[in-house]
Amino acid sequence: MRAFFASVCAAAVLAVSPACAAETFGADIAAIRTAASAMPGVKPIRINVIKFAESRRTKNFAIKGAPREPSIQARTAFQVVYPDGYVMIDTGMDLQVHKFFGRGVEEPYFPEQEKKVEAALRGAKSIVVTHEHGDHVAGVLRSPDFTALAGKTTLTKTQVATLMNEPQMPEIKITAEQAGKFKTIDYDKTFSYAPGIALAKSPGHTPGSQIIFVTLASGREYLFTGDIAWHMDGVRTTTGKDAPWITEPADLMAAELSFLNGVMKNEKNVTIVISHDEDQRLDYIKQGLLGDGLE
Ligand SMILES: [Zn+2]
């Protein structure tokens, strides 16, 4: 019965029906910021990025109407470092899941980098994901250390429901027993995850998508957007993707791009991080906003 409800809820997301509490977007940067500072404790001190694979897709797929010029989509994970440990945002993926994304085309995969992600997951205090797609969750779901990793991985109820009932690919489908090994949370709009870290619901790209907001001890702030956009130009121009293989409710995506565009214009202290934007990744490393590689 619970699975049936989840499935109905996921279907309602596509129709942007008000009947399902999971499908609205009403993020408020002030509320997110408050949630990020609500949990007592020492705040994180820096953030690292790692790229473990790439997709080669012309830019028009990431931004509707953009020229069909070559573009690299980086597949990434992030490490939020505290003085006494770190939290991982997203989890990498194995080669088999990577091949799913190539859809028959062989694309770059960096096994040495993926091994570093795997080691970082084992050493992490906790793990959280932007959304329930293979390139963000497979590193935990398909790990030989699944039980140990799942025990410190937080998924939302919606992410769990998608993985059980409507996974992006068969490789990441989980059973009820596997679902029970995760730390599952359910929240309305924002959730205080750890000192300096808040989650904010952003359903659309997937039903369980969420923004991850981080405030460092220095005061610098980061907003991890997952796959709301695949390139920062999508935020700059508030233009969605044009990828026939994904289905996203247009209303939600427009609201989320508009929100991010407002943050970009009005919140100069906030660094917006787009999971797959290779141009931005290189730029942020150069600027010292993200550390290059995991520690
Ligand atoms: Zn992705």
Q: How far is the CA of 75 from the centre of ligand 1 (A)?
A: 7
Q: How far is the CA of 81 from the centre of ligand 1 (A)?
A: 22
Q: How far is the CA of 136 from the centre of ligand 1 (A)?
A: 6
Output the tens digit of pLDDT for each of the chain's 295 residues: 333 333 444 444 444 444 444 478 989 999 999 999 999 999 999 999 999 999 999 999 999 999 999 999 999 999 999 999 999 999 999 999 999 998 889 999 999 999 999 999 999 999 999 999 999 999 999 999 999 999 999 999 999 999 999 999 999 999 999 999 999 999 999 999 999 999 999 999 999 999 999 999 999 999 999 999 999 999 999 999 999 999 999 999 999 999 999 999 999 999 999 999 999 999 999 999 999 999 9
For the chain, what are the domain ranges? 23-292
Structure tokens at 228: 């709301």
Give the CATH class of 23-292: alpha beta
CA atoms within a 13 Å half-sphere pointing along the CA-CB vector of 156: 29
Helix (H) or strand (E) holding 212: strand 210-215
pTM of the complete model: 0.92
- Determine the Cα–Cα distance for residues 223 and 240; give it in Å rounded to an integer: 18
Q: How far is the CA of 266 from the centre of ligand 1 (A)?
A: 26
Q: How far is the CA of 206 from the centre of ligand 1 (A)?
A: 10
